[in-house]
Chains A and B, each alone.
Chain A
Amino acid sequence: MRFDFLPTTGSVRGSGFWRRLGISLVLGAGFLGGPLAARNGFEAVVVDAAGELVSDVVLSLTPLDGQAMPPSVAGEAKISQIKQEYSPYVTAVRTGTPVEFPNLDTIQHHIYSVSKPKRFEIPLYEPGRSEVVTFDQPGLVVIGCNIHDWMSAYVLVLDTPWFGKTTADGRVSLADLPSGRYRLELWHPRVSKPLSREVTLGTTSGAEPLRLTLALRPDRRLRRAPTPGAGGAY
Chain B
Amino acid sequence: MPALNRAWLWLGVVLGVGAISPVRAAFTPSALAVNTSYRWTENISRASGAADFRDAAEYELGGQARFVRQLTPRLLARLDLDVAGWICPEYDLLDRLEFGPRLVLTRKIGLGPEAWVLAAETGLTARTGRLDDADSVAARAGLTLSKRFGPWFSTAVSGSWTGQEAKDAAFAVAHYAAEARVNFDPHPRARFSAGVGRRDGTFTVGASEMRFGRALAGALGPRVASYFATVPTATTELFGPGWVSYSVEAEVEEWWCEFSPVLTDRSSLALRYGRAHFTNRVDIEYRQDTVSLSFLYAF
Size category of the B interface is 35 or more
Residues of A within 8 A of B31 (CB): 232
CB of B113 closer than 8 Å to a CB of A: yes
The 9 A-B pairs at the shortest CB distance, nearest first, are namely: A123-B73, A149-B113, A220-B151, A225-B262, A228-B270, A226-B296, A225-B268, A226-B298, A234-B106
Cβ 8 A contact of B30, one of A144, A220, A222, A233: A233
In the assembled complex, the Cα of A127 lies from the Cα of B70 at a distance in Å of 12
A232 near B117: Cβ-Cβ < 8 Å: no
- A114-B297 CB under 8 A given contacts A108-B28, A220-B188, A223-B262: no
Chain A residues 114 to 156 lying within 8 A of chain B, measured CB to CB, are 114, 121, 123-124, 127, 144, 146-147, 149
Residues of A within 8 A of B298 (CB): 225-226, 232
In the assembled complex, the Cα of A85 lies from the Cα of B264 at a distance in Å of 15
CB of A183 closer than 8 Å to a CB of B: no
- A228-B78 CB under 8 A given contacts A108-B70, A218-B187, A223-B262: no
Interface residues of A (CB under 8 A from B): 106-108, 110, 112, 114, 121, 123-124, 127, 144, 146-147, 149, 218-228, 231-234
Closest residue of A by beta carbon distance from B31 = A232
CB of B263 closer than 8 Å to a CB of A: yes
Chain B residues 75 to 110 lying within 8 A of chain A, measured CB to CB, are 76, 78, 104, 106, 108
Closest residue of A by beta carbon distance from B265 = A224
In the assembled complex, the Cα of A108 lies from the Cα of B67 at a distance in Å of 11
- A146-B112 CB under 8 A given contacts A107-B28, A232-B66, A233-B30: yes
In the assembled complex, the Cα of A220 lies from the Cα of B149 at a distance in Å of 13
In the assembled complex, the Cα of A101 lies from the Cα of B269 at a distance in Å of 34
In the assembled complex, the Cα of A175 lies from the Cα of B144 at a distance in Å of 55
A234 near B188: Cβ-Cβ < 8 Å: no
B68 near A233: Cβ-Cβ < 8 Å: yes
Chain B residues 113 to 136 lying within 8 A of chain A, measured CB to CB, are 113, 115, 117, 119
Cβ 8 A contact of A123, one of B33, B70, B78, B119: B70
Residues of A within 8 A of B262 (CB): 223, 225
CB of B29 closer than 8 Å to a CB of A: yes
A228 near B73: Cβ-Cβ < 8 Å: no
- Among A106, A127, A146, the most chain B Cβ lie within 10 Å of the Cβ of A146
Contact with A along B262-291 (1 / 0, CB 8 A): 111111101010000000000000000000
- Among A220, A228, A232, the most chain B Cβ lie within 10 Å of the Cβ of A228
Distance between B133 CB and nearest chain A CB, rounded to angstroms: 28
Distance between B178 CB and nearest chain A CB, rounded to angstroms: 16
CB of B191 closer than 8 Å to a CB of A: yes
CB of B185 closer than 8 Å to a CB of A: yes
Closest residue of B by beta carbon distance from A127 = B28
- A112-B112 CB under 8 A given contacts A223-B262, A227-B260, A228-B294: yes
CB of B249 closer than 8 Å to a CB of A: no
Residues of A within 8 A of B198 (CB): none
